[in-house]
Chains A and B, each alone.
Chain A
Amino acid sequence: MSDPAELDLVSRQVRFSLIEISNRAQTAHLAGALSCVDLLVALYWTRLRITPGTVTDPARDRLIFSKGHAISALYTVLAKRGFFPEENLARYNEEGAGLPEQPSPGCVPGVEWATGSLGHGLGVGIGMALASRIQATPYRTYVVMSDGECQEGSVWEAAMLAPKLGLGSLTILVDFNKWQATGRSTEIMQMEPLAAKWQSFGWCAREVDGHDLPAIVNALHAETPPDQPLAIIANTIKGRGVSFIQDDNNWHYRSPSAEEVVKARQELLSHA
Chain B
Amino acid sequence: MRNAFADELLKLAREDSRVVILSGDIGNRLFDKFKAEFPDRFYNCGVAEANLISMSAGLASCGLRPIAYTITPFITTRCLEQIKVDVCYHEMPVLIVGTGSGLSYASLGSTHHSFEDLAIMRVLPGMAVLAPADSGELRSCMRAALRQNGPVYIRIGKKGEPVIFPEPPPFEIGKWNIMEPGERVTLLACGTLLPIALEAAAMLRFSEVNPQVARCASVKPLDADFLLKAAAESDLLVTLEEHSLAGGFGSAVAELLLDADLPHPPRLFRAGIPDHFLHDCGEQDHARTLCGLDARSIANRILKLLAK
Interface residues of A (CB under 8 A from B): 58, 104-105, 113-114, 117, 119-120, 122-135, 137, 153-154, 157-158, 160-161, 165
Query: Is B125 positioned at the interface, with any CB of A under 8 Å from its CB?
Result: no
Task: Tell me the bound Cα distance from A135 to B51 in angstroms.
Answer: 21
Inside 8 A of B59's CB, which chain A residues have their CB?
127-128, 130-131, 134
Query: Is B282 positioned at the interface, with any CB of A under 8 Å from its CB?
Result: no
Of B46, B48, B61, B89, which is within 8 A of A127 by CB?
B61
When C-beta atoms are compared, the residue in chain A nearest to B56 turns out to be A127
Of B45, B48, B62, B89, which is within 8 A of A132 by CB?
B62
Nearest 3 interchain pairs by C-beta: A127-B58, A123-B54, A131-B62
Task: Tell me the bound Cα distance from A134 to B60 in angstroms.
Answer: 12
Query: Is B145 positioned at the interface, with any CB of A under 8 Å from its CB?
Result: no
Give the Cβ gap from A95 to chain B, nearest Cβ, in Å: 20
User: Could you tell me if A135 and B63 are in contact, using CB atoms closer than 8 angstroms?
Assistant: yes
Task: Tell me the bound Cα distance from A18 to B60 in angstroms.
Answer: 33
User: Could you tell me if B51 and A161 are in contact, using CB atoms closer than 8 angstroms?
Assistant: yes
Inside 8 A of A122's CB, which chain B residues have their CB?
51, 54
Which residues B229-253 have CB closer than 8 A to chain A? none
A-B contact pairs, 19 of them (CB 8 A): A105-B90, A113-B90, A117-B81, A120-B81, A123-B50, A123-B51, A123-B57, A123-B86, A124-B61, A126-B54, A127-B59, A127-B66, A131-B62, A134-B40, A135-B64, A154-B51, A154-B54, A157-B46, A158-B48
- New A-B pairs, 13, CB < 8 Å, besides A113-B61, A128-B58, A129-B58: A117-B81, A122-B51, A122-B54, A123-B50, A123-B55, A123-B57, A127-B62, A128-B62, A132-B62, A134-B64, A135-B62, A154-B50, A165-B43
Inside 8 A of B90's CB, which chain A residues have their CB?
105, 113-114
User: Could you tell me if A123 and B61 are in contact, using CB atoms closer than 8 angstroms?
Assistant: no
Inside 8 A of B20's CB, which chain A residues have their CB?
134
Task: Tell me the bound Cα distance from A154 to B78 in angstroms.
Answer: 11
User: Could you tell me if A131 and B63 are in contact, using CB atoms closer than 8 angstroms?
Assistant: yes
Inside 8 A of B91's CB, which chain A residues have their CB?
105
Give the Cβ gap from B268 to chain A, nearest Cβ, in Å: 38
Interface residues of B (CB under 8 A from A): 20, 40-41, 43, 45-46, 48, 50-64, 66, 81-82, 85-86, 89-91
When C-beta atoms are compared, the residue in chain B nearest to A158 turns out to be B51
Inside 8 A of B43's CB, which chain A residues have their CB?
130, 165
User: Could you tell me if A126 and B64 are in contact, using CB atoms closer than 8 angstroms?
Assistant: no
User: Could you tell me if B64 and A120 are in contact, using CB atoms closer than 8 angstroms?
Assistant: no
Inside 8 A of B46's CB, which chain A residues have their CB?
157, 160-161
Give the Cβ gap from B35 to chain A, nearest Cβ, in Å: 15
Given A154-B51, A161-B51, A58:B58 Cβ within 8 A: no
User: Could you tell me if A134 and B51 are in contact, using CB atoms closer than 8 angstroms?
Assistant: no
User: Could you tell me if A124 and B58 are in contact, using CB atoms closer than 8 angstroms?
Assistant: yes
Given A120-B82, A120-B86, A134-B64, A126:B41 Cβ within 8 A: no
User: Could you tell me if B62 and A120 are in contact, using CB atoms closer than 8 angstroms?
Assistant: no
Give the Cβ gap from B274 to chain A, nearest Cβ, in Å: 33
Task: Tell me the bound Cα distance from A124 to B52 in angstroms.
Answer: 9
User: Could you tell me if B51 and A117 are in contact, using CB atoms closer than 8 angstroms?
Assistant: no
Give the Cβ gap from B15 to chain A, nearest Cβ, in Å: 17
